[in-house]
Structure formats: C-alpha cells, structure tokens
C-alpha cells in the first residue's frame, strides 16, 4: 500500500491534480500495481480525503488578550491550548509504537505539525497495516496529510521526511 501512496504523492504532488479515486485506480492498474495494494491504498486515501475535508481551520480576526482560535467542524470546538497534552490510548500506543509516537511528538514540538494535522496523522496511521507502524511508513503518512491539505512542508521538514536516516553519520 505504501508504494502506491508514494507513487500518488510523486505523480500528483498537487493534490487537486489527482484524479477521482475510481480513475486513479485504473491508472494505478495500468502502471502495474497489484489490485490488492491499489484497493487498500484507495480505501486509505478515501479516509484521508474525508478527514481533510472535515477538518478546516477558521481563523477569526485577531482577538485581544490572546484568546484561542476556534476549529470549524460540525460542532463548535476550541482549538488546542498551549498547555494541553495529547494522551494516547493503549491501542494507539501498541499500534504506533514508541518510535513513531516520538517522531510525531518531535514534529509537533518543532511547530511543523499542528494539532489538527496530528490528529489526521494518528487516524491514518491507525488505519495503516503494520503492528507497530514503521517510522518510514509514518513519514509517508505525514507527507500524505500535508498533500491532502495542498501544502508542502518546508525544506528542512521535507528533508527529514524523505531522507534515509540510517545512512547518517553522527558527529
């Protein structure tokens, strides 16, 4: 499935250029991916599309006294405050593993993964195969979440997501 997602990211790097899922499935078949991989990727992408469409940030005009911004969803929900903490369920901890949760925490504390995108990353990682999800697979998921919002991560984040860290030499 992840090979299909990488292909989609590389060939339709502007999310709005990606064809509808049924047409995308035909194109992926023509490229030579296996039907089972294509189906898993299309189901996963459909979930990503639903999550991205359901999460829209509406930033109100600048408010005095630094009040938090609201999140525009089906309910009126407040955005995460600076002092809040994301607690992962046992199921999430087991499926994601310590390494991937540490990487999500790193991205979030670096300011490159806002809470609404983090939640989509966690949701899509929970829908991904693997127990636990590998760090390389999580990096693909993060790229796909950025892609679904029509955003490209900055160069340093992109380097961290795409670089093979196994070949790095510590100084």
Dihedral sign for Cα 77, 82, 87, 92, please.
positive
- What is the C-alpha to C-alpha distance for residues 23 and 42, in angstroms, rounded to an integer? 11
Residues 25-50 have a mean pLDDT of: 93
Least confident of 7-11, 28-32, 74-78, 160-164: 74-78
Confidence grade of residue 7 (pLDDT, cut at 50, 70, 90): very high
Confidence of residue 58 (pLDDT cuts 50, 70, 90): very low
Cα torsion 138, 144, 145, 146: sign: positive
90-132 pLDDT per residue, tens: 999 999 999 999 999 999 988 889 888 999 999 999 999 888 9
User: Cα dihedral sign for 143, 147, 153, 158?
Assistant: positive
């Amino acid at each position: 499935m992840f090979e299909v997602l990488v292909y989609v990211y590389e060939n339709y790097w502007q999310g709005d250029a990606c064809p509808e899922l049924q047409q995308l499935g035909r194109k992926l078949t023509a490229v030579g991916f296996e039907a089972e991989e294509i189906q898993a990727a299309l189901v996963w992408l459909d979930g990503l599309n639903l999550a991205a469409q359901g999460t829209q940030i509406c930033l109100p005009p600048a408010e005095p006294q630094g009040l938090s911004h609201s999140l525009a969803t089906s309910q009126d929900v407040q955005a995460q405050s600076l002092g809040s903490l994301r607690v992962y369920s046992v199921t999430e901890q087991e499926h994601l593993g310590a390494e991937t949760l540490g990487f999500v925490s790193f991205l979030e504390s670096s300011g490159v993964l806002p809470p609404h995108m983090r939640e989509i990353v966690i949701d899509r990682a929970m829908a991904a195969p693997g127990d636990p999800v590998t760090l390389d697979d999580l990096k693909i998921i993060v790229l796909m979440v950025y892609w679904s919002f029509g955003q490209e991560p900055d160069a340093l984040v992109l380097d961290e997501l795409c670089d093979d860290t196994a070949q790095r030499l510590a100084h």
